Amino acid sequence: MAENKGLVLVVEDEHNIAELQRRYLGREGFGVHVESDGDAALAAARRMRPAAIVLDIALPGTDGMEVCRRLRAEGDWTPVLFVTARDEVTDRVLGLEIGADDYLTKPFSPQELVARVKSLLRRAAGPGGDPVRRVGRLALDTGRRTLHVDGEPVELTTTEFNLLAFLMHHPGRVFAREQLLAQVWGYAGYRDTRVMDVYVSQLRAKLGEASPLRTVRGVGYGVSDPGR
């Protein structure tokens, strides 16, 4: 029997797709609970506290976007992988802006779904045991996965946290969007590298005047090194 790797909440109203996800995730040692509508998904997320949520957008009643929005508003930062038939850049951007951590477009291979869930959980776990990293007014603890600005906590999604952590661990360096996608996702998750612009924009909005993020036009992004 495979080692239990945690519970994944699958929210999908197409029975065949849901069963396919259940089967492949189960083979990899995940516990799987399936819901087929948004309201039931919210109740299950609050009750079961899953390790990750695989969330379809087009659901009966409360759609996936609203499910994610409500969870984030409640302070629930469980990693969320959106699964959807929508492939427009604006839809992907909206999903990321409301707090999703990754995005998979139908049709997809079940192997890729499993790989993305594993990647989400690796990133959520973090390296552990690292000391607090301080840059300017920011203090980031990768062990506890917390961020404080001027001593006040700031809530970040899993992917926002990992992007900021990577850049803060390499102050003064500038990385191309493709490099950051590979580092933050663990693979080149998107051909359209503009999704990285979304995350940087979200981080700047949350950090405000304390943001150490800098843009080098035509190159990419980095964190200012206060020692230079």
For 163-194, the DSSP string reads HHHHHHTSTT-EE-HHHHHHHHHSS---S-TH
The radius of gyration computed from the CA coordinates of the chain, to the nearest angstrom, equals 18
Q: What pLDDT, on the 0 to 100 scale, is given for residue 166?
A: 86
Collapsed DSSP state (helix, strand, coil) of residue 150 = coil
pLDDT truncated to tens, each residue of the chain (228 aa)? Answer: 345 578 899 999 999 999 999 999 999 989 899 999 999 999 999 888 888 999 999 898 899 999 999 998 888 888 899 988 766 666 667 777 788 888 888 888 999 999 999 988 877 765 554 567 888 899 988 777 889 999 899 998 888 888 898 898 888 889 888 888 777 765 544 555 677 888 899 999 999 999 999 999 888 999 986 654
Q: What pLDDT, on the 0 to 100 scale, is given for residue 212?
A: 94
- Please provide the size of the chain in residues: 228
Q: What pLDDT, on the 0 to 100 scale, is given for residue 145?
A: 80
Q: Whose CA is closest to 21, among 62, 49, 56?
A: 56
Angstrom CA distances, 182 to 119, 156, 174, 178, stand at 11, 20, 14, 6
The structural domains of the chain, with segments of one domain joined by +, span 7-125, 133-223
Cα separation, 131 vs 39, in Å, equals 40
Tell me: cis bond preceding 127? Omega within 30 of 0 counts: no
Q: What pLDDT, on the 0 to 100 scale, is given for residue 141?
A: 85
Look up residue 2 and give its amino acid. Answer: A
Q: What pLDDT, on the 0 to 100 scale, is given for residue 2?
A: 45
Q: What pLDDT, on the 0 to 100 scale, is given for residue 38?
A: 94
CATH 3.40.50.2300 assigned to domain 7-125? The reply is yes
Query: CATH topology for 133-223?
Result: Arc Repressor Mutant, subunit A (1.10.10)
User: Per the confidence metrics, is the pTM higher than 0.95?
Assistant: no
Q: What pLDDT, on the 0 to 100 scale, is given for residue 36?
A: 94
Query: CA angle, 141 as apex, 136 and 142 as ends, to 5°?
Result: 125
